[in-house]
Amino acid sequence: MKTKLHELLLGNKSAHLLYAFNSMDNYMKTVVRYILDGIAKDQSIILIENEKYLPFVMRELKIHLTDNELEKIHIVNNFDFYFSTGSYHPPAILGHIEKMYKPLLDQNKSIRTWTHVEWSTIEGPLAIVEELEKVVDKLSADLGLTIMCAYEEEGMPESLRLSLLRTHKFILNDDGVDYSDYYDMENIIEI
């Protein structure tokens, strides 16, 4: 049963969502709408995005938000975030996550994250993506976080697609949000 993202997030303290996108135009509209909805709920936003898309996203957000609201958005370059060690390395990524979230959680802030994962740049086995997504799913549930993981669907290997469906309880597309039929909560890795 499809629902609207806004309705889903109202009823859940935490959510780990997959957004497999095909259109960059829809992607831009979705990321902006997701952030605006979070700001309207007085959430702090962590935006992990490609630097070439940031100017477009920020231009749209500046139309709708005050300077004080814009200060609630914490921007991280997705390449620096995922590849700071020179490769996609889950322990280093988890270190970044801890540094980003801890100050906000210490202030009892509600946090909404958008992360653009550019899987096509990952060298090595794509199984490491599933390993990290399992940990992020547990983190989301334990800390009450809303985390949207955006992956470009074009050319995505079937093994990665199935891995993402197993590690994300909710799937977002242009028609709304649905539950993943493949989600396996028993398979989540302890932090």
Q: What is the mean pLDDT of residues 69-88?
A: 83
Q: What is the mean pLDDT of residues 83-108?
A: 80
| 24 located within any domain | yes
**Is 70 exceeded by the pLDDT of residue 1?**
no
Predicted confidence at residue 186, as pLDDT, reads 63
| 34 located within any domain | yes
Query: How many independent structural domains does the chain possess?
Result: 1
Q: How many helices (H) and strands (E) does the chain have?
A: 8, 7
Average pLDDT value for the chain? 86
Which range (14-23, 54-63, 91-100, 180-189) has the least confidence?
A: 180-189
| 133 located within any domain | yes
Token readout for 1 is 């049963």
Question: How far, in Å, CA of 173 to CA of 27, rounded?
Answer: 10
Domain that holds residue 132: 5-139+168-187
Question: How far, in Å, CA of 109 to CA of 43, rounded?
Answer: 7
3-state secondary structure of 87: coil
Of 28 and 178, which is predicted with more confidence? Answer: 28
| 146 located within any domain | no
Predicted confidence at residue 18, as pLDDT, reads 96
Q: Helices 127-143 and 158-167 meet at what angle, rounded to 10?
A: 20
pTM surpassing 0.85?
yes
150 within 8 A of 117, measured Cβ to Cβ: yes
